[in-house]
Amino acid sequence: MKKVLLVALLLVCIFLACRKEEPSHPELVLRYADNQSTGYPTVEAAKYMAELVKERTGGKIEIRIYPDSVLGSENSVMEQMTYGGIDMSRFSLGTLSRFFPELWTLQLPYLYTDSEHMWRVLDGDIGDMYLREMSGKGIIGLAWYDAGARSFYTRTPISSFASLQDLTIRVQENDMMSRTIELLGAEAVQIPYGDVYSALQKLRIDGAENNLPSYVFMDHNQAAPYFYQDEHFRLPEVVMISADAQKKVSAIDPGFVEIIEACARESGVYERKLWQEEENRAYEKAVQSGVSFIIPSDEDMFALKQAMEPLYHELGQKEREIVERIRDT
């Protein structure tokens, strides 16, 4: 009898220990938007962040991820975040600099020598300074995500810088993006990310520019199989929370604000790892689907950089100093 009681007691203890501490209903659900799909590094990293937040807030805060632009294009999500309609999101720098013009400096073409160079800058004082600066308009920057380097791709064969001229190229919805492309002699057309594939198919544009994972995830490789690997932009991405959402978090427990910040930063480290894997996978998939990769010649790279040079001349004193610091980093 004693034995039976002991076993029963043990079972009760095991049951209690295994029971989750989390409340069955979160006290706050934060809606998080991403225009990429499930499986894409930024979405998977956001899910990871959501798990960390759930765990560390004892289930009181849930971050619910809405991928595939279901909450709207990046520009529309940004507007919705400023009045509190959406709580969190991940934005491309190409979108952000339209709302935070000071970010334009980080978006200059051929700014970094490679990915390591960019991460030395973003992980250091300059990266921190920009995250802080972004926190002025009712939206707070939490962490950087990787988005690799952007190159041109076209429907018809291109072999050199000269073949890019006179083409119609899709750009993000940002006038500085248009200006950059126009300096190459191409015509820029601003189109939301989700509409690029159909614009290529309907021959509205001759090409676009983006990183390899986006190119493959969005099937652009099917419509524009010539990939001119000039890597003109390195546009990192930023995880953001609205000031309104942050206030709601703080009302539940002021300590949760820091928890969310830390989880976002940890998800940033995780995303970089996923990003590298996805870049390799996307390259393999593109090759298998018959994409022609064109590596620009040294002369072409020189011509491209020369064409973009006016953007550097137009910088103010402060921006010029930041560019100097970036180059020295």
Q: Enumerate binding residues for ligand GCU (CB under 6 A).
A: 35-36, 74, 92, 147, 172, 193, 210, 214, 237
CB 94, min distance to ligand GCU, A: 6
- Quick one: 31 or 234, whose CB is closer to ligand GCU? 234
- Quick one: 205 or 249, whose CB is closer to ligand GCU? 205
CB 198, min distance to ligand GCU, A: 14
- Quick one: 223 or 322, whose CB is closer to ligand GCU? 223
Nearest CA to 90 out of 133, 131, 46 is that of 46
Tokens 């520019």 — which residue? Answer: 209
Which element (helix H / strand E) includes 64? strand 61-66
CB 57, min distance to ligand GCU, A: 27
CB 100, min distance to ligand GCU, A: 15
- Quick one: 26 or 67, whose CB is closer to ligand GCU? 67
From first CA to last CA, the distance across the chain in angstroms is 74
- Quick one: 92 or 180, whose CB is closer to ligand GCU? 92
Q: How far apart are CA 197 and CA 218, in angstroms?
A: 7
C-beta atoms surrounding 247 within 10 Å: 11
- Quick one: 168 or 329, whose CB is closer to ligand GCU? 168
Looking at the DSSP bridge assignments, the partners of residue 305 are: none
CB 232, min distance to ligand GCU, A: 13
Is residue 234 within 8 Å of residue 112, measured between CB atoms? Answer: yes
Name the phi and psi angles at 26, rounded to 5: -65, 155
Which burial class, exposed, middle or buried, applies to 4 when counting CB atoms under 10 A from its CB (0-12, 13-18, 19+)? exposed
- Quick one: 74 or 300, whose CB is closer to ligand GCU? 74
DSSP string over 157-172 = ---SHHHHTT-EEEE-
Q: How far apart are CA 275 and CA 208, in angstroms?
A: 21
Positive or negative, the Cα torsion across 281, 287, 290, 292?
positive
